[in-house]
Amino acid sequence: MDYRLRLAKRMLFNKRGSLIGAVLAVTIGIMVIHVNFVIFQGLFDAIVRDLTNYRNGDILVTDESDYINKSDLSLVNWFERIPYVDAVAPRLSSTAEMNMTKNGKRFEETRVPIVGVDPFRDIRASTVHETVTEGNYVFSRNSIVLGSIVARDLGGAQVGDSVKVLVVDRWGQDQIRRFTVSGIANSPGGQGFDYTAVVHIDSLRDMLSRTGETSSFMVKLNDPSKALEVKEFFLRSFPNDDFIAETIEESAEQQLAGFRSGIAMINIIGYFGMMSSAFAIVTIQMMLVNGKTKEIGILRAIGAKRKDILIIFILQGMIIGAIGTGVGTAAGLGYTFYAKETKMSWNNSLPLEVTYNWGKIIQTALTSFILAIIASLYPSYRATKLLPVEAMRTV
């Protein structure tokens, strides 16, 4: 029996190079899943984060027909009575033509999105003000913040420059007003206000002849998981109005739908990569079986049963799966930690919003471990089919 155990141990560990190759196959399969998740799920979460912080909030309130006629104060006060609500900000949106003269040359831009904000409330409900890299956020009725792309297209507008803005009011009349550039907004990834101009909401209301009217309210929650609850409570409280209230998943559905499909496809590719690792384990295990014909023959000759040989190779698969899973998961967590701490991005892309999805991590580890064992079954079965006489011919 002792000799049989020594032979079994020898069978498990005397082909270290092959075992390392099998472990690497499992490790690489897990790393592919982790890297895909960090990059693509991180990009998805980053888009949601920036849409929430810059444009829609956790809940976006609009009007089904046109503009919201209720006063800012009444709706803001109503929302801020709810314990889950941090802040509420009204916004008014339109498009404008802009022109300015720079170094004796006239620059003009058409159809520039322009957003009117309440400076005091907006800095509490959004983080647009944090994207202002030059100058300051809107602080008076004659100040304007230009997105970096708009500033570039206007000939390189800078803080202090004068910009002429034209909008068409509700009666179809052109309204022109001059603004002083108070800041330039620049945010990576294109989800911010780089293509937009921001002015005081009352200035835009005057130009559009929409006194007291609002395009939307963005609601910021201290607990985003309560968004659906707050939304439904709001709609029940105003049954006779034409309000539309949407969570970030609903209001950003068009931007996110295609990305969700892409993530699903990438995950499938990742699991196909894991399947490839399983095939690599099958190949390596078959090589190990072929290289251990002599040991198998000796074990069978001294009384080992087929199930003993089967257990030996399945145990080898479990060891490969356990080590590969452990190393791959550790490497994946290390990559995730690095991406999270460095706010990883490429070429002015969105900084990734990286999270530790422990359910996904555990699922990947278990799947990899189980695949390693399954991949060992056929080679193990082949090892049990070797007859002692045939195997001993190689001794």
pLDDT at 353 over 50: yes
Residue 185 burial (CB count, 10 A)? 28
Residue 78 burial (CB count, 10 A)? 15
In the three-class reduction of DSSP (H, G, I as helix; E, B as strand; rest coil), residue 387 is classed as coil
Per the structure block, which two tokens stand in for 381?
Answer: 């079965």
pTM: 0.76
Q: Tell me what pLDDT residue 293 has.
A: 65
Distance CA(326)–CA(321), nearest Å, equals 8
Q: What is the pLDDT of residues 18-28, one digit of tens each?
A: 567 777 777 87
Query: Do 243 and 63 contact (CB within 8 A), yes or no?
Result: yes
Residue 348: pLDDT band by 50, 70, 90 thresholds? low
Q: Tell me what pLDDT residue 132 has.
A: 95
Residue 151, CB half-sphere, CA atoms under 13 Å: how many?
A: 25
Query: Do 54 and 187 contact (CB within 8 A), yes or no?
Result: yes
Distance CA(70)–CA(84), nearest Å, equals 22
Residue 77 burial (CB count, 10 A)? 11
Report the largest interatomic distance among the alpha carbons of the chain, rounded to a whole angstrom.
101
Partnered with residue 108 across adjacent β-strands are 99
The Cα-based distances of 361 to 191, 328, 330 in angstroms read 29, 11, 10
Place of tokens 């209720």: 70
Closest CA to 320 of 18, 14, 19: 19
| Domain boundaries defined on the chain | 2-50+256-392, 66-241
Q: What is the pLDDT of residues 107-121, one digit of tens each?
A: 999 999 999 999 999
Q: What is the pLDDT of residues 135-173, one digit of tens each?
A: 999 989 999 999 999 999 999 999 999 999 999 999 999
Place of tokens 């560990």: 13
192, exposed or middle or buried, with CB in 10 Å at 0-12, 13-18, 19+? buried
For residues 234-263, one letter each, b for 16 or more C-beta atoms within 10 angstroms of the residue's C-beta and e for the rest, the string is beeeeeeeebbbbbbebbbeeebeebeeeb
Could you tell me if residue 303 is left (phi over 0), alpha (psi between -120 and 50 degrees) or otherwise beta? left
Least confident of 103-107, 290-294, 325-329, 350-354: 290-294
Per the structure block, which two tokens stand in for 34?
Answer: 């982790």
